[in-house]
Structure 1
Amino acid sequence: MLVQMIYASRSSRVLGPADIKDILGASQRNNSRAGITGALCLHNGIFLQLLEGDRTAVNVLYHRLLKDSRHRDAAILDLAEIPFRRFGTWSMGLIASLESNRQLFLKYSASADFDPYGMSTATLRSFFDEVLQNVRWLE
């Protein structure tokens, strides 16, 4: 069964460019092997990630992330069966808090600070729909 999970977590420490590059590289390698696709958003110390793949593989990955010391306050915000992958060409794309993405973060935020913990399921899905079409990705 194919599922899509959206979760958020807070960074347990300040991450530098090398940390982010390492996270993205490891995600791309591991996700490719596990048949998982998706997108990772990092903004103001908050990770927001959409994962797509086999239910068991996505579940295993999420539980591995819970043990990662770089994450705290992890929460599943949406989990649904899906008929097809939306991020099928991305083993993991990174949406960084670049100035060119600032308006997108603000568009879906209730306040000036991007806080996915307070976003509805419909808002989260709309955010990622727009991400697919309008975001500058880092690879």
Structure 2
Amino acid sequence: MLVRLLYVSRAVDTSPAAIEAILTQSRLHNPASGITGVLCYGGGIFLQAIEGGRTAVSELYGHIQRDERHKDVELLAFEEICERRFGGWTMGHVNLAKLNHSIVLKYSEKPEFDPYMTSGKVSFALLEELMATASIIGRA
């Protein structure tokens, strides 16, 4: 059974090297577990969609909750799905700080997107738009 999980967290270390290390680790380990998804980062906040088998996604989310590189981890959405939306990415990446403010403003009260202040549905809609506008990089 396929599921999709969407969560938000704050980065403990906001250095570019720390963010790149998380992406590299994801891209190395996710294929063997059948995990796909996208990681958005900006302003010290991660927004991540993870797709795959229910057990694999649940185990990965548990690992993220215990990972010392993340704090304030909050589940935004968890659902059974018929098909993947991010199947082409072992872990795509979006730098939220570099997005066109008009895209962000479409889904947010302010030009800085804060997934802590929006619903999972709104956060997922933003991810859908980012995918449609080719803003997601790191296709693997």
Shared fold per TM-score greater than 0.5: yes
**Residue 125 of structure 2 corresponds to which residue in structure 1?**
126
TM alignment of 1:31-110, pairs within 5 A: 31-110=30-109
Letter in 2 for 1:30: H
**Residues 96 and 138 in structure 1, CA contact (< 8 A), matched pair in contact too:** no
**Aligned AA (1:64):** H
- Distance across 1 between alignment mates of 2:52 and 2:30: 9
Tell whether the 8 Å contact from 1:101 to 1:136 is kept in structure 2 after alignment. Answer: no
Deviation larger for 105-114 or 58-67: 105-114
For the Cα contact (< 8 Å) 2:40–2:94, is it kept in 1?
Answer: yes
Q: Which residue of 1 aligns with 2:5?
A: 5
Q: How many residues align?
A: 138
Q: 1:101 to 1:137 in 2, by over 3 A?
A: farther
> Normalized against structure 2, the TM-score is what?
0.90
Q: Alpha carbon RMSD of aligned pairs, Å?
A: 1.5
Question: How far did 1:70 drift?
Answer: 1.1
2:132 equivalent to 1:137 = no
TM-score normalised per structure 1 = 0.90
Alpha-carbon distance, 1:6 to partner: 0.3
Q: Give the conservation status (yes or no) of the 8 Å contact 1:10–1:73.
A: yes
Gapped runs of 5+ residues in structure 1?
none
8 Å CA contact 1:95–1:135 kept in 2: the answer is no
- Report deviation, 1:59: 0.5
8 Å CA contact retained: 2:102, 2:111: no
**What aligned pairs does 1:10-29 form with structure 2 within 5 A after superposition?**
10-13=10-13, 15-29=14-28
Post-superposition offset of 1:84: 0.3
Q: Secondary structure at the match of 2:79?
A: strand
Structure 2 CA distance for aligned equivalents of residues 104 and 36 of structure 1:
27
Whole-angstrom CA distance in 2 between matches of 1:38 and 1:98: 19
